[in-house]
Each structure stands twice: as structure tokens, then as C-alpha cells.
Amino acid sequence: MTESVWFGKPKSGGGQHPGLSRELIVRKAVEMLDEHGLGALSMRKLAAQLGAAPMSLYWHVPTKDALLELALDHPFSELEPVDEGVTWDVAARGLMHSMRMIALRHPWWVKLVGSYMTVGPNAVAMADGMLKVMRDAGMSVVEASRSSSALSSFVIGFVGAEVNFNANGAVDQIDVSKLHSLYAEKFPYYAETMAEAELWSVDKQFDFGLECVVAGIRASVGALR
């Protein structure tokens, strides 16, 4: 969290061969999370991958939760910066698509977003960028805040479900299809939807929702440059 403390206090003085560092640990953690998922990451395994003893990590990181909070901020750096001079809705679409891509690349990331406060430098940089675009478009502080909240709420909710489906949906498919036939007469509208749903494009579903929010913002907010 407080990365600045590190840079502000190099703490001159002696020491054993460092070999380990917070950045190195976080990077390896992200790598392992990408490969084997959230449930497979333990301090012991992480230490093993780093060729260190488990407890050695605790010198650089106070707790596993803190480590995850640091890891959570990492993928935010993959966000493509907004182009200069585009309208707020174009910038918003770009950022939100970028967020979705991050989530699909790092499935663990979505779950962590809902479990920790996202106040890391990269996350805040993104929020700041989004807010800037909207303020520049003429929105008030409240309008900009609420608009970006609406956008990112939708995206996080959507990709949360999407990632979850990618992980569990395929595995439980047999059970799910059984369930659907059970529910068929009791929940006809649900059944009707599920019967067709496999053919639809998830990308278009995402774009539909995103467009809804964008259109809604445009309609709800007053003067837009």
C-alpha cells in the first residue's frame, strides 16, 4: 500500500544479501495467481517458487492480505491510457473495455476487487484519468463521480459473472443442464432464455450493457461539451 515509504526510507546500513524484495514477491505472486488461481496461492508455495523459506516473506510484507492487496493493484497498470482529445464516452468505452480485458486475463483479480479497497497507485491513477475526462467534458464533481461509479460498477459486476461462469460453468455443465430441464416448467422464461443463450456473443452482451450505462449518463447529465 504505502510504496512511498519504501522509496522514502532506503535505511542505509548493513544487511544480508537481500535477494528478496517486496516488488519481486508481488510480481511472483501475480504470476502464480495467473497460472493456478486464487485458491492455489499460499505463502509456502510462493516462498518455494522464490527459493526462500516461508517466513522470509514476512519481512517484506506484513500479512498475506496485504500481499493480495498489493497484487490487486498490479493489473491496473495494464490499462491502456485514454487518448487525448476524445469525447468522454469514447474514453469511457475504451477504459471499460480495457478493464474487462484485465479481468479476463487475471480471473483472480475480479474477486479481489470485491474484497479489498482499491487505493493502490495504479487503481487511483485510472480513477483519476476517468474523472479528468468527465470533468473536462463539463460534468460537475458529483456527476463525474457518479458516472464513473456507475460505469465501473457495471463492468465489475459483469466480468465477475463472466469469469465465474468461465470457471464453474463448464465444469458443472452436466448438472446445470439437468437443473434446467427440472426448472423447465416451473420457470419458463428462464428456460426459454437458457435454451438460446449458448448461441449469443458475450462481447455483444457486454457492449449492450455498457452502451446502456453510457446512454443513461448522457441523458442524466446536464451540459456536456
Residue numbers at the binding site for DNA (CB under 7 A): 11-20, 41-45, 47, 51-56, 58-60, 63-65
Sign of the Cα pseudo-torsion (71, 77, 80, 82, in order):
positive
d(CA 71, CA 12): 27
C-alpha cell at 214: 453510457
At position 8, the amino acid (one-letter code) is G
Regarding 213 and contact with a copy of itself (CB under 8 A), the answer is: yes
Residue closer to a copy of itself, measured from CB, 16 or 181: 181
Report the residue number, 55 or 141, with the smaller CB distance to a copy of itself: 141
Chosen residue from 35, 84, 175, 185 binding a copy of itself by CB under 8 A: 175
Q: Which is nearer to DNA, 65 or 211 (CB)?
A: 65
User: Is the Cβ of residue 54 or residue 121 nearer to a copy of itself in the bound state?
Assistant: 121
Q: Which does 81 bind (CB under 5 to 8 A by kind): DNA, a copy of itself, none?
A: none
Write down the residue that cell numbers 455498457 correspond to: 210
Among a copy of itself, DNA, none, residue 193 binds (CB under 5-8 Å by kind): a copy of itself
Report the C-alpha gap between 81 and 126 in whole angstroms: 8
DSSP string, 183-200: HTTT-HHHHHHHHHHTTS
Residue 15, binding choice from a copy of itself, DNA, none, Cβ under 5 to 8 Å by partner class: DNA
Cα–Cα distance, 92 to 136 (Å, whole number)? 13
Nearer to DNA, 14 or 222 (CB): 14
Q: Hunting for cell 456536456 — which residue is that?
A: 224
Which residue type is seen at 128?
D
Q: Which of 76, 88, 108, 158 binds a copy of itself (CB under 8 A)?
A: 158
Residues contacting 104, CB < 8 A, separation 6+ = 159, 162, 163
Taking CB within 5 to 8 Å according to partner kind, which of a copy of itself, DNA, none is near residue 86?
none
* Lookup result for grid cell 464453474: 168
Residue 90 and residue 199: Cα distance in Å, rounded?
28
Contact residues toward a copy of itself (CB under 8 A) are 1-2, 4, 110-111, 113-117, 119, 121, 124-125, 127-128, 131-132, 135, 141-142, 144-147, 149-150, 152-158, 160-161, 164-165, 168-169, 172, 175-176, 178-179, 182-183, 187-190, 192-193, 196-197, 200, 204-205, 208-209, 211-217, 219-220
